[in-house]
Structure 1
């Protein structure tokens, strides 16, 4: 399994060097509970909510044999992700060997040194960014 981020139709691609040991996908459904006079609470089926995903790992400062890539070093990974966030553009997230291939926005990105290695440890959470499809009415 590998994890890739990309922007602008793969103009810039970032492969995570260290694959997280686990990730979690939250897939909510927006059901609504209503209180009625005669039946008490009832549940109305809503629409699917936006998926979110989160994981944590680290960006290595030096070369490790188990790293998937060494294109960037430590802080450079964090700086690239911050640059994309500042530009306010959706990011394509692809996790190989899964069905995950979606546009996301980064909701939370926490990073910093944790030990004396110079590696940058991080946690990241993202939410699905669905393409908006507007229907036009012909007059």
Structure 2
């Protein structure tokens, strides 16, 4: 089975021969008095990925250089940039059948946790880098607005001034109708207010059958 590693936008010239993926969980075990140990199942933790990659300083015929040969420092600079930027990136591993068909792949967003540069006489001019990644999950903060209750204003005692009394003269005992008068207008003028009941009572007091019909010269008892 062949591998294909896409590390952000970078393809390593020599694909790592081994890949470790640790699928973690956050389960916890507690002991109950009568039941003994029980396992509390929780949401799966973040996947951890580790592998070693050979970065050649010599152009090998079995290596793949999509954009032309680059020395080991080119890839080391890329790793340093990913580490210092503190940004997640895409990590894709594809498993290929001998025929070249895709078997299955892993595609996840990860962060570069740490890497170790190994130089040895066994590697000649080449450099081996041990890389550790951790799965990255998008998250967002929720903004909660807490409104503090406003302090209630203390009640203020209001001084109510007595209404000035008016010594208005009492209404006359009778009124002689002129053109344009109505019982409604007479009640408003002499009693200060008017209702349908008041006009009906005034009409009954004066033997008027139709409260809406009075005539000039007619004397109305108030």
63, 84, 103: which is aligned to 2:109?
103
Aligned residues: 131
The unaligned stretches of length 5 or more in structure 2 are 96-103, 145-222
Higher Cα radius of gyration: 2
Partner in structure 1 of residue 21 of structure 2: 25
Query: Which structure has the highest helix share of the two?
Result: 2
Q: TM-score w.r.t. structure 1 length?
A: 0.84
How much has 1:112 moved relative to structure 2?
3.3
Deviations 1:63-108 (A, max 9, x none): 1111122542112211111111101111211112332111111112
Partner in structure 2 of residue 81 of structure 1: 79
How much has 1:41 moved relative to structure 2?
1.3
Q: TM-score w.r.t. structure 2 length?
A: 0.54
RMSD, matched Cα: 1.9
Q: How does 1:12-51 map onto structure 2 within 5 Å?
A: 13-51=9-47
CA contact (8 A) 1:109 1:123 kept: yes
58, 61, 65: which is aligned to 1:65?
61
